[in-house]
Amino acid sequence: MKIQQLSLFLENQPAHLKHPCDALAAAGINIRTLSLADSEQFGILRLIVPQWQQAKQVLEEAGCAVRVDEVVALEINDEVGGLAKVLGTLESGGHNIEYMYAFTSGPSGKAIMIMRFNDTDGAITTLEGAQINVLDSVSLFE
């Protein structure tokens, strides 16, 4: 169960982060979670939104460079060692995490992690085999 993430490439300039946020707000699209990373020349804004196809179109029409990436959203027990358990499962399956970030609006007692893998399908199989709840987009946005 893969989730579509929008990745935007932004110049490291004042107000460049505000521009895509304004475009999405004007279209009535809520940003559920995001991650911002930067390099010397540009930043990468990663967004999870309920209406990713509409958001992509809105952002492109606003002049943003947008790429769609497949990521995995999974529930982790919000307790000591919860993330370590999941990471151990992925390590034993030989899966590399390219990046990850948290999504804090999960069900009570759960944290949600967004992860990108070098082998998404294999990682999903490993996680589900260990009875780790991999969320689909419907579950994620309920």
In this structure, CATH architecture of domain 2-69: 2-Layer Sandwich (3.30)
Sequence ranges of the domains in the chain? 2-69, 71-136
> Using alpha carbons only, what angle is made at residue 57 by residues 51 and 59, rounded to the nearest 5 degrees?
95
Instruction: State how far Cα 105 lies from the chain centre.
Output: 13
Kindly report, residue by residue over 25-63, the tens digit of the pLDDT. 999 999 999 999 987 778 899 999 999 999 999 999 999
Q: What is the CATH number of domain 71-136?
A: 3.30.2130.10
Q: Say yes or no: do domains 2-69 and 71-136 share a fold.
A: yes
DSSP state of 124: H
Kindly report, residue by residue over 98-133, the tens digit of the pLDDT. 999 987 655 566 888 999 999 999 999 999 999 999
